[in-house]
Structure 1
Amino acid sequence: MATRAPAATGKLLQGFRKWYYNACGFNKLGLMRDDTIHEDSDVKEALRRLPENLYNDRIFRIKRALDLSMKQQILPKDMWTKYEEEVHYLEPYLKEVIQERKEREEWSKK
């Protein structure tokens, strides 16, 4: 019985994550979560390191979302970004940039 509790909690959390993902609304414009990250210096460096095809895909999604927003429209439901298809394409690059910045800060303290 004790082994069921974590599985049930995991399913509940997964359900909440899906609900929250859809409630945010960016998926209705065809955006991914990483497209909505606030661009500080770390994010800008991570974007600079993105492969060209990923960067171009990001720019396309953002331009399409801006156009839809201006027209006060959303994409047809079959074109929405789905929770299951979500890819955190920027996360590995961002982690690397943050790690390097922290290392530089440590070196500059010495």
Structure 2
Amino acid sequence: MNPVQFYKCLADETRLRTLLLISHEEELCVCELTAAMRLSQPKISRHLALLRSADLLQDRRQGQWVFYRINPALGNWAKSILEDTLQANRHFIEEDLHNLIQMGDRPQRATLCC
């Protein structure tokens, strides 16, 4: 991961909130992110595509849903920055988390079998 590309991704509020929410929840789909941040699906999808192309996120398909998570191959330094930012600035996504909790009909994740 190129540090300049990483910090450019973090410099945008929508992308930072997206990364922090996904870090907090471990995995989210587009509909959960739109409900949490109260933004349009095209805007969220555009930012997710950029984060995926920068290798910050991975996605997986489950039926009609696509779930996004922090790329497990992301360098430890970058994961540490995201975790430290989340821990020190939980208030930054507090409203988003509240909106997510209020969301009805959240998609169910398949339990991973051994």
What TM-score comes out, normalization by structure 2 length? Answer: 0.31
Between structures 1 and 2, the one with greater helix share: 1
Higher RCO (CA-CA < 8 Å; seq separation 6+): 1
